[in-house]
Amino acid sequence: IKEAILRAERAFLEVKPFIKVGKTEREIALRLEEAVKRQGSTKVPFEFIVASGPNSAMPHARPTERKIAPGDMVVIDWGAEANGYFSDMTRTLLFDGPERSKKIEIYNIVKSANERAIKAVRPDISVSDIDTEARDYINSQGYWKFFRHGTGHGVGLDVHEPPRVAGTSKEKVKKGMVFTIEPGIYIPELGGVRIEDMVYVDEKPEVLTSLPKDLEIIN
């Protein structure tokens, strides 16, 4: 799994300079797929999400011919494969432009929710408690109705496997589990933010993903 994460992260860093105003979502997604394969993945684990501007407000948007414009939030959800194991991660970039302060505020709320949920991970608690940690924080900031999916899911030989990190989950967290933590806020017209990391359960959570999470504003 660590190798699958490394492959995905190296691919992202390779493609990142190409992510700029005027490029289409589809162009970026294809570049990322090619880069993941160059890193050694024999397959692409799922159809990558590159969602810009209003499309970023849809959690499961598919890449389109829309071109990145100033002020866009761009949600990129991708992964890689290594020896039959998968990775899955998301980062959000902000292009400088209108309503900048609102977008920065939303980004920082999602980042805090992500970090709080990760901190809550430990063996023997209920998986639903992790979802509660992220959701309660987003609720406290007034954005409860804009967080419209579970906080995460298991990853391993499949990209989506148990446990489902959601309020309805009945499972307990067990040592050795690997799952994602991916809270998000999605506001129609304004855009969306998601930050997704992969976490290994030990006595303390080990965050396996290493790409920076501080907001990057691209001019």
pLDDT of residue 15: 98
Mean pLDDT of 129-154: 98
Distance CA 66, CA 171 (A): 40
Question: What does the pLDDT look like over 170-201, one tens digit per residue?
Answer: 999 999 999 999 999 999 989 999 999 999 99
Contacts of residue 50, Cβ cutoff 8 Å, sequence gap at least 6 = 25, 26, 28, 29, 32, 63, 74, 75, 76
pTM score of the predicted model = 0.97
| Domain assignment of residue 50, given as a range | 2-218
Distance CA 180, CA 199 (A): 6
Strands across the sheet containing 89-95: 49-52, 73-78, 89-95, 217-218
Q: What's the domain count of the chain?
A: 1
- Per DSSP, the three-state class of 174 is coil
Percent of the chain exceeding pLDDT 70 equals 100
Question: What does the pLDDT look like over 40-93, one tens digit per residue?
Answer: 999 999 999 999 999 999 999 999 999 999 999 999 999 999 999 999 999 999
CATH no. for residue 119? 3.90.230.10
